[in-house]
Each structure stands twice: as structure tokens, then as C-alpha cells.
Amino acid sequence: MNFSIITPADAAYDEWNNRGVNQRWKGHPSGIIPITTADELKDALQYAVDNNKRVAVRGGGHCLENFVGDPAVEIVIDISRMKGIRYDEEMNAIEVAAGATLGEVIETLDHRWGVLLPAGQHPAIGTGGHISGGAFGFLHRHHGLAVDYLYAVEVLCVNNERQVEKVIATREETDSNRELWWAHTGGGTGNFGIVTRYWFRAAGVNERDPSLLLPKSPEVLETMEMEWDWEQVDEHVFKQLTENFGEWAKMHSSADTEAGSLFATLFLSNKVTGKIMLKAVLSDCPEEIAEEFAAAISAGLGITGRAIRKPMRWVEFALQPFPDIFVEQRVAFKVKDALLRAPYTPAQIGVIYRYLTEHNDVPGGSVGLAFFGGKMNAVAADATAFPQRDSILATACTSGWLDAADEAKSVAWTRNIYQELFAQTGGVPVPGEQAGGCLIAHPDADMADEQFNKSGVPWHVFYYQDNYERLQRVKGKWDPCGIFRHRLGVEA
Ligand SMILES: Cc1cc2nc3c(=O)[nH]c(=O)nc-3n(C[C@H](O)[C@H](O)[C@H](O)COP(=O)(O)OP(=O)(O)OC[C@H]3O[C@@H](n4cnc5c(N)ncnc54)[C@H](O)[C@@H]3O)c2cc1C
């Protein structure tokens, strides 16, 4: 064996086992195998398969659900030391090892070639588990999703004879493995095999120069932060502010919107936290759009908020974005998200107001709204496995807690507000006129539980819509023994 197994008897076990960001989930695998190369990874996976061990892979540790921390998982293969980012001449694409974090990708792409990958917002996220969920971030309105730049992927699959094989799948129409590439453009994580490398290059670009393969880093990046004192926010102001935010999204989310260079998130936290915050990112954004946005958000509020604009270098921002809300905390949390095709209605905003002002005992409860749309909506729903190309907003009901004694009430708060928000459709955002389903990057096992999803619509419709059958075929072909599974796994 060219790898070592850390068992519960080893002093290092707790540290390796505790790498998951969501402290709610901690598994008890009989072995953790840290690997540094793809060959070690192949052997480690073969070992798990040969010994009939339920296996899961961990990269950046940012899984929201217990896909890795499931008590049923017996072997965890940890790929966080499998690093490497380079220009691959043969592929004419930027190659990223699956153990690289987003921060490493951001820094390397910017420093070496002055380019970026429009991926997620937290620099510590691992690319291995992140990219195949679609990967949205601060710049998806300007440049699309990270998967829109995915040229190829290398995956360790387990064949019918239970042998691990290395497969490279590209987006080339002539590639017989193309469906496996497609499944990694939004088909979720831990479904088909273990990704060892991704290659990125914009579609239609063939110049043999790494500085031309991906979008240029913005010349001018500016943050805009607005803040309102909760003491001054009554129900009328709250509704107006949330409606203003939704209205802007509605008016500026087409694929060719001029406001694609403006992304914003409205962070509606519990009243006891003292303030409501809006964070915007302007990437080479025309000044008139920035001003129009600030005015539209403040319209009719009747109270004065604080607004600060700050120019920064892209890399400086992306490596430490908005530290006051995007702080990397090791807390336990529950997230229930939904995509919206139309803004929240006044009645739904009333529900949010009530949950944020009448539940002092869940101070970590919040509702976030973030702009979707723009360039990411320029792609057809079946061109990648990420189908939600017509949403204008992503929303998340979240609660976080430090003390395990607060778990039950915090989780209940999150489930209850979500249930009320989508009461018309069985307590869940059934894709339709207003809702657009859910993001597999933010998996929520409740969706597969009739106690919480009373819509009669199966969980996979929320995450994959019409793409699910195609994903099932990929699953049947590339994971015929069902080695890779979790609570929201694609089933053949
Ligand atoms: C604080 C926070 C912020 C986030 N922000 C964003 C965001 O801005 N945009 C966004 O799109 N998502 C975001 N996410 C979601 C994130 O993209 C997913 O949770 C992603 O799966 C994390 O990958 P990871 O490697 O860090 O996590 P891990 O917990 O290591 O893995 C997550 C899942 O991916 C699987 N996996 C990991 N590596 C591989 C691999 N090499 N091959 C196959 N499967 C693998 C794991 O088995 C597991 O099922 C955020 C999550 C958190 C906790």
C-alpha cells in the first residue's frame, strides 16, 4: 500500500475527522486515508472497494449535509493535500487538482495569468466538491458559472468488475466519455466517482495562451456595503427594502442585462443582531448602474442607512470577502435554500419579518437573498447538468449555533420559516411561476423526506429538473456497483 490509514487509535484521528466545516456532522469512520497524489488516491479507493467499505471523499470540508460525516461511512479519503494548478499545453486548458482550494485557484490564476474562474465565495472551499455542483459566486452574473468554463474532468470510477479506472471526459462532441463530463457540470458531488483534476477553458476559445483562456480579472473592483439599524426598521421599512431588492433582481436579470457586473446579497438577520446588511460587488461596473442601484434600494425607506464604497484589487477582495458576514466559522448550522424566478411576495416578506423579530431565542437565524441571473442565464437548461438558468434570486434560510443544546430549536426555526414561505406548494419551492427549485451545492436532505417535502414532487426535481434521467444513465454506466452514494445521491 502506498498510503497510510489513520484509525481512531491514532493521535491525529480527531484532527482529520474534524475537518468538516459544519460541526453538526461528525462521522466515525474506521479509517481516514490522507492522500497527496492521484495514484495514492486510486490505490486508496481500490482498497476501500476490495474491502467492501462504504467510502466517501473529503476535500475542502464545506459540505452542508452529512454526505461525508454520515455514521455509515467507513472510510474517508481526504484529498486536501492533492494540490497543483498549471497550464496544460496538451489540453490547452488550466488544470486544477481536486485538492486545491478556491483561494489557491483565485490567487494562482490572477498572479500567473491575470484571469479568474467565476466560482464560489469562500476561499477555503475545495474545488473537488465544489465545481460539480455548478459553482456560483460573486461574478456569475458577469461571467456565468464556473462549470460554464469546464473543459474536462478526470474521474476515478469503479467498473463492473469493481476495478478502479481513471477516466478523462471532455466537452468535445466527439468524446465518447462526454456524458461523464456533462454530469460534472452541475450533477452534484459524490455521485459518479472521485474527481482528481479539472481543466478549464472558455468555450470557443482556442488561442494557445493561458492568459486568454478564462475571463480577465476585473480592472476595477469595488465593494458597496449598505447597512440599516434594526431599531429603525419597522415592518413597513422591512417590506419596502426587501421588495426593492427583489424588484431590482426582476428588472436586471436577463442574460444580456447591463447590470450583470453588479452582484448583491441582502442579509436579513435576526433583530437582536442589531443591523440589516447589503453587500454588493461591482466588477468593471458602469458608474450610472451603481448609482441607480443604490437609489433603487433606498427608495421609499424613509430612513437613512450607511453606504460605503471601496475599490479593491480582485484578488485582495476574493481572498477575504466581506469578513463580517462571510467569516469562516466552525459552527453547526442548517441551511435550506431555494431559487426564485420571481421576488418574494408581500405575504412571504411578512413571514420573514415575523421570524426575524419574534424569535429572540434563535439569534443565529437569518434569511439571505442573492442575485442570480445575468450571464449564467445565457446557457440552456440542458447544456450543463445545472438546470436553474432562469432564476433571478437565490434565497437561503439559515440558522447557526455553537451550543448543541440549541440545535433542536435552531433547526426547527429553519424548517418552520421555510415551510411557511412555501406553504402554497407543500412547504417547498416547487419549480413553477415563482420558485425555481434548489441548488445541489446546498443540499438539504429534508427534500427527500415527506415530513418536510409535502408537495408530492420528488427531491430530484428540485435539484435537477428535467436533467435527472440523463444523470441516472450516467450513473448506471459509470458507477454500476453503486459505490458512491449519499442521502441525495443520483440513483441509476
Ligand atoms: C460557508 C460555505 C460557503 C459556500 N459558498 C458557496 C458558493 O459561494 N458557491 C457555491 O456554489 N457553493 C458554495 N458552498 C457549497 C459548496 O460548494 C459545497 O458544499 C461543496 O460541495 C464543498 O466542497 P468541499 O470540497 O469544500 O467539501 P467536502 O465536504 O470536502 O465535500 C463535499 C461533497 O463533495 C464530495 N467531494 C469532495 N471532493 C470530491 C472529489 N474530488 N470528487 C468527488 N466528490 C468529491 C464529498 O464527498 C461531499 O459529498 C458553500 C458552502 C459553505 C459551507
How much is the average pLDDT of 116-140?
A: 97
d(CA 169, CA 150): 11
Distance 130 CA to ligand 1 centre (A): 4
Rounded (5°) CA angle 425-268-303: 120
What proportion of the chain, given as a percentage, has pLDDT over 90?
A: 96
Q: How confident is the model at residue 328 (pLDDT cuts 50, 70, 90)?
A: low
* Dist. CA 63 → ligand 1 center (Å): 5
Q: Identify the structural domains of the chain with CATH numbers, from first to last.
A: 13-78 (3.30.43.10), 85-217 (3.30.465.10), 221-466 (3.40.462.20)
347 Cα to the center of ligand 1, angstroms: 33
pLDDT of residue 242: 98
Q: In what order do the strands lie in the sheet with 262-269?
A: 306-312, 221-229, 275-283, 262-269, 365-371, 393-401, 332-340
- E-strand ranges in 253-331 read 262-269, 275-283, 306-312
Give CA–CA dist 274/5, Å, rounded.
48
Per residue in 183-204, pLDDT (tens digit) is 999 999 999 999 999 999 999 9
Amino acid 220: pLDDT: 87
* Residue range 141-157: mean pLDDT, rounded: 98
Confidence of residue 219 (pLDDT cuts 50, 70, 90): confident
- Ligand 1 atom closest to the CA of 146, numbered from 1: 11
Instruction: Give the gyration radius of the chain's Cα atoms.
Output: 22
Q: Hey, which of 41, 62, 70, 131 would you mutate to test ligand 1's pocket, going by the most ligand atoms within 8 Å of its Cβ? A: 62
Question: How close is the Cα of 481 to the center of ligand 1, in Å?
Answer: 24
- Cα 490 to averaged position of ligand 1 atoms, centre (Å): 16
Residue range 18-66, pLDDT digits in tens? 999 999 999 999 999 999 999 999 999 999 999 999 999 999 999 999 9
Which atom of ligand 1 is least distant from the CA of 155? 42
Rounded Cα–Cα distance for residues 16 and 29 (Å): 11
pLDDT reported for residue 307:
82
Q: What is the pLDDT of residues 80-122, one digit of tens each?
A: 999 999 999 999 999 999 999 999 999 999 999 999 999 999 9
Distance between CA atoms of residues 162 and 341, nearest Å: 43
Which band of pLDDT confidence, cut at 50, 70 and 90, is reported for residue 306?
confident
Once rounded to an integer, what is the mean pLDDT over residues 390-395? 97
Q: Which pLDDT band, with edges at 50, 70 and 90, does 153 fall under?
A: very high
Nearest-10 crossing angle of helices 287-298, 235-251: 150
ipTM higher than the 0.95 cut: yes
What's the burial of 63, exposed, middle or buried (CB within 10 Å: 0-12/13-18/19+)? buried
Ligand 1 proximal residues by C-beta, below 6 Å: 20-21, 56-64, 67-68, 79, 98, 120-122, 125-126, 128-130, 133-137, 189-190, 194-195, 441-442, 486
